[in-house]
Amino acid sequence: MFKSVKCLIYVVIALNLGSCSNNSNAPVIKFSADSSSIVIKNIDEASLFQVRNAYHTNPDSVNFISVLLTPNETDSLQNEEYIAGHTKLQGDSVLFVPEEPFLAGKSYLVESYIGVKFADGGKLLKGTIKHNLEPQQQVLKR
């Protein structure tokens, strides 16, 4: 009996360590150095493989990233505004290049499903698995 309890403790610790490592390896969403595009980096190999397959199948219709201009507290704009642009693969990163340049002093909400996992060990043990995927969201200020 003591061996089975000891084994169970090892399994729980291993799953918790595994879930912690998944959270720290989430893709990074940020502006490029010149703020002319948005870059998603740190994509795990499995997700990058799926992105490449989808992109090479039909690069014009793939929409990996959604970018919305969000209203600031002092703006008269009341709704979020969709930013049109196109997506490019560059090495192990995904770039979003807008049709018109990003505006200085504005905030942009970026949503992406790249690298999002439906369920992992931590969510399974905690009972926080949801019935749908939630995108990774990042607010970027130019």
Tokens coding 72: 């600031």
Q: 67-108 pLDDT, tens per residue?
A: 999 987 776 667 889 999 999 889 899 999 999 999 988 999
pLDDT of 2 over the 80 cut? no
Q: Where are the domains of the chain?
A: 2-141
CA–CA distances in Å: residue 44 to residues 97, 102, 121: 22, 28, 17
Return d(Cα 132, Cα 135) in angstroms, integer. 10
pLDDT of residue 100: 94
Task: Give, in degrees to the nearest 5, the angle at Cα 42 between 59 and 112.
Answer: 50
